[in-house]
Chains A and B, each alone.
Chain A
């Protein structure tokens, strides 16, 4: 069965600092991986996705993630945090055989001035 683990339910960074949100997955087949962001009182918005091909994936708002098969990881990074990045971030996996998404527990990112 597939699963996703997000280390750190809360991450705090200063504005301008590196953002690193960790995601590890478990899948018996090549996974499709996603990062979603949820701003307060809004739905889940796709930041980026990995399906096949290049393992470094760039998304919206300056975020990127790298698929590392050997580490079963798909960590989300952004070189310089902005106040507007404060939100909840969810990592999700799909095996491609079904279209359901399996989500992690989420990481709340706080950005301090």
Chain B
């Protein structure tokens, strides 16, 4: 069964460093998302991406964040200068059609900023 994959599973970085979290969505999906979950808190929407551009972003998704689909398979989230409060589990999701269709989630990348 096709699935969303994410690498790495755990990333440890120093404050101020740049990190890139990688996702491979399901191959025929067109809509891509990033969510994050700070430990003990709810899963929060960060950004949605369609047709090579951001379709919606939350107030969390400030200028330190960017997303890219550098090739036909990968979908990346870059944090330019990490802060302690960026420590969280980051989930990538994709779906075939927008709106209420099922979003398929990856296993997540745990980011720890020291």
Interface contact A43-B43, CB-CB below 8 Å: no
Interface status of A110 (Cβ within 8 A of chain B): no
Which residue of B has the minimal Cβ distance to A104? B42
- Specify which chain A residues have a CB less than 8 angstroms from the CB of B51 in the assembled complex: none
The 8 Å CB contact of B48, one of A43, A49, A100, is A100
Please, which residues of chain A bring their CB within 8 A of the CB of B6? 43
Binds B, one of A20-28, A64-72, A90-98: A90-98
A105 to chain B: closest CB distance in Å?
A: 4
CA gap between A92 and B33 in the complex, in Å:
15
Distance (Å) between the CB of B78 and the closest chain A CB? 20
Taken residue by residue from 48 to 83, chain A's Cβ proximity to chain B (1 for < 8 Å, 0 otherwise) reads as 010100000000000000000000000000000000
User: Is the Cβ of B41 less than 8 Å from the Cβ of A105?
Assistant: yes
Whether a CB of chain A sits under 8 angstroms from the CB of B45 is: yes
Residues of A within 8 A of B105 (CB): 36, 43-45
Question: What 1/0 mask marks residues of chain B from 48 to 85 whose CB sits below 8 Å from any chain A CB?
Answer: 10000001101000000000000000000000000000
Report yes or no: A100 in contact with B56, Cβ–Cβ below 8 A: yes
Query: Is B25 an interface residue, CB under 8 A from the partner?
Result: no
Residues of B within 8 A of A (CB): 3-4, 6, 31, 33, 35, 41-45, 48, 55-56, 58, 91, 93, 95, 98-100, 102-108
Nearest 9 CB-CB pairings of A with B:
A44-B105, A43-B105, A103-B43, A32-B100, A100-B45, A43-B107, A105-B42, A51-B100, A99-B98
Report 9 cross-chain contacts, Cβ distance below 8 Å, ordered by A residue: A46-B102, A49-B100, A98-B48, A99-B100, A100-B48, A105-B41, A105-B42, A106-B42, A106-B43
